[in-house]
């Protein structure tokens, strides 16, 4: 199953410039999601990080993995598009984050996020990000699917 950016926006509440998943290339319900983000010099973050040496921030890589994980959670929860409008995924923790190589404009950041365990609304995910097949970042993410506050 693939999802383009329009379909992703029906699931996630994020919008440009903070929507960090361009396409979902595979979802294995309850197991893993694969997605990617094309990193462009036109990203607003490069105005300040860093103007003469553009490096995509690690926190943005982690957030991209989390957004991919949220797509997996919504699909695994078998929620309709209407139901996802009333839910949001909150970060609970980020553990064992490691940044292996810098991400630069022109790179394609491939996310691979798998389920370590799930208990009710709480998810523990193994997130990895690759560039050209090389591991660039990894982290264990914990998140919870909750009702949006009114």
List domains and CATH numbers for the chain.
5-40+51-147 (3.10.129.10)
What tens digit of pLDDT does each residue of 14-73 get? 999 999 999 999 999 999 999 999 999 999 999 999 999 999 999 999 999 999 999 999
Q: If you write DSSP's letter for every residue of 50-71 in order, what string do you get?
A: -TTS----HHHHHHHHHHHHHH
pTM: 0.95
Active site residues: 49
**What's the DSSP call for residue 47?**
G
CA–CA dist 123, 115 (Å, integer):
7
């Amino acid at each position: 199953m693939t999802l383009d950016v329009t379909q992703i926006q029906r699931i996630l509440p994020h919008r440009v410039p903070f929507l960090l998943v361009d396409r979902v290339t595979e979802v294995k319900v309850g197991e893993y999601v694969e997605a990617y983000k094309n990193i462009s010099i036109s990203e607003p973050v490069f105005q300040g990080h860093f103007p003469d040496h553009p490096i995509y921030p690690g926190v943005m890589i982690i957030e991209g993995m989390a957004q991919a994980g949220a797509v997996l959670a919504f699909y695994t929860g078998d929620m309709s598009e209407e139901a996802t409008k009333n839910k949001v995924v909150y970060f609970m923790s980020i553990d064992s984050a490691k940044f292996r190589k810098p991400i630069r404009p022109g790179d394609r950041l491939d996310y691979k996020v798998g389920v370590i365990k799930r208990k009710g609304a709480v998810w523990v995910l193994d997130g990895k990000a690759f560039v050209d097949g090389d591991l660039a970042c990894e982290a264990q993410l914990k998140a919870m699917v909750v009702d949006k506050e009114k």
